[in-house]
């Protein structure tokens, strides 16, 4: 998954953002779940005036459930 494509997750009007508290002691990270042709999970952090994508992949079953549950 290239980050240019993954960045489109923020354009999904129904995307959800959750804190990713377990993976960094020195910066706030977020899990963003949204639709970009398929459902994706993007891990990101805010740096100065930009959002930095750390990783991106296809959403797993639990993440899909969170996204679907948020829509109802």
Is it the case that residue 70 has pLDDT exceeding 90?
no
Q: What is the pLDDT of residue 24?
A: 75
Q: What is the pLDDT of residue 58?
A: 97
Is it the case that residue 72 has pLDDT exceeding 70?
no
pLDDT digits (tens, 9 = 90+) for 11-56: 999 999 999 988 777 889 999 999 999 999 999 999 889 999 999 9
Q: What is the pLDDT of residue 4?
A: 94
DSSP 24: -
Is it the case that residue 71 has pLDDT exceeding 80?
no
């Amino acid at each position: 998954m290239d980050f240019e494509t993954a960045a489109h997750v923020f354009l999904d009007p129904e995307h959800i953002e959750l804190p990713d508290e377990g993976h960094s002691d020195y910066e706030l990270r977020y899990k963003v779940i949204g639709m970009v042709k398929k459902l994706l999970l993007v891990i990101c952090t805010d740096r100065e005036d930009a959002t930095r994508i750390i990783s991106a992949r296809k959403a797993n079953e639990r993440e899909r459930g969170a996204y679907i549950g948020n829509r109802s």
